[in-house]
Amino acid sequence: MSALRQLLDVLVAGLIAGSSTFVVSAVAPGYAITIGTVLASMYYFSRYPWGIEGGGRYNERIDAFYDRVLPG
């Protein structure tokens, strides 16, 4: 996996963390940062699983998107 793809995954995880923290803060401000961190971690570690089965299908779709978007 290239460093550029991993950097993009970190940026996407950051966007997930920020947007979910913003949305959840309207409903449960005390838990917003925790929930945002958990959701971002779930995305990132689903891309780099530790023994998870079935995640390969989603990773292939994300990789195909990256192939279209990122320079060769």
22 conformational bin, left if phi > 0, alpha if psi -120 to 50, beta if neither: alpha
The per-residue pLDDT of the chain, averaged, comes to: 85
Instruction: Give phi and psi for 41, each to the nearest 5.
Output: -65, -40
Question: For the residues 48-66, what does the mean pLDDT come to?
Answer: 74
pTM of the predicted structure, to 2 decimals: 0.72
Confidence of residue 56 (pLDDT cuts 50, 70, 90): confident
Write out pLDDT tens, residues 16-50. 999 999 999 999 999 999 999 999 988 888 777 65
